[in-house]
Amino acid sequence: MNFLKALFGGVEESPEVQEQKKAEKNFNILKYDGIRALQTRQTDYAVKCFTEALKLKADAEAELYLTQAYIRNGQLDAAYETLTHILEQDAENIEILMLKAQITYNLTKYDEVVNICQQVLQLDDTNSAAYFQKARAEYARKDVFNAIASCTKAIANAPELEQAYLLRAEILESMNQFADAEADIDYLLQHFEPTEEGLMQKGVLRMKQGAYDKAITLFKQVTELNPFHEKAYICSSEATTLQGNAEQALQGLDEALQMMPENAQLYKERGRVKVLLNDKAGAMEDVRRSLELNPEEAKHLEGLFTNTEKEMEARYKSQNPYGF
- Residue 79 in any domain: the answer is yes
The answer to whether position 42 is within a domain reads yes
| Structure confidence at residue 27 (pLDDT) | 80
Range of the domain at 56: 31-90
Residue 50 within a domain: yes
Phi and psi at residue 278, in whole multiples of 5°?
A: 60, 25
* Number of C-beta neighbours around residue 306 at 10 A: 10
Residue 276: inside a domain: no
Cα distance between residue 268 and residue 283, in whole Å: 8
| Residue 142 burial by Cβ neighbours in a 10 Å radius (0-12, 13-18, 19+) | exposed
Convert the pLDDT of each residue in 224-243 to its tens digit. Answer: 999 999 999 999 999 999 99
Provide the residue-wise pLDDT of the chain in tens; the chain has 324 residues: 554 455 445 556 677 777 777 767 878 888 898 899 989 999 999 999 989 988 888 888 989 999 999 999 999 999 999 999 999 999 999 999 999 999 999 999 999 999 999 999 999 999 999 999 999 999 999 999 999 999 999 999 999 999 999 999 999 999 999 999 999 999 999 999 999 999 999 999 999 999 999 999 999 999 999 999 999 999 999 999 999 999 999 999 999 999 999 999 999 999 999 999 999 999 999 999 999 998 876 666 555 555 544 544 454 344 333 333
Residue 281: predicted pLDDT? 94
Q: What is the CATH number of the domain that holds 66?
A: 1.25.40
Query: Per the structure, how many domains does the chain have?
Result: 1
CA atoms of 295 and 197, how far apart (whole Å): 28
40, part of any domain: yes
Is residue 74 a part of any domain in this protein? Answer: yes
For residue 240, being part of any structural domain is answered with no
Cβ proximity of 243 and 212 under 8 Å: yes
User: Is 137 domain-assigned?
Assistant: no
- Write down the pLDDT at residue 2: 54
Above pLDDT 90, what percent of the chain? 75
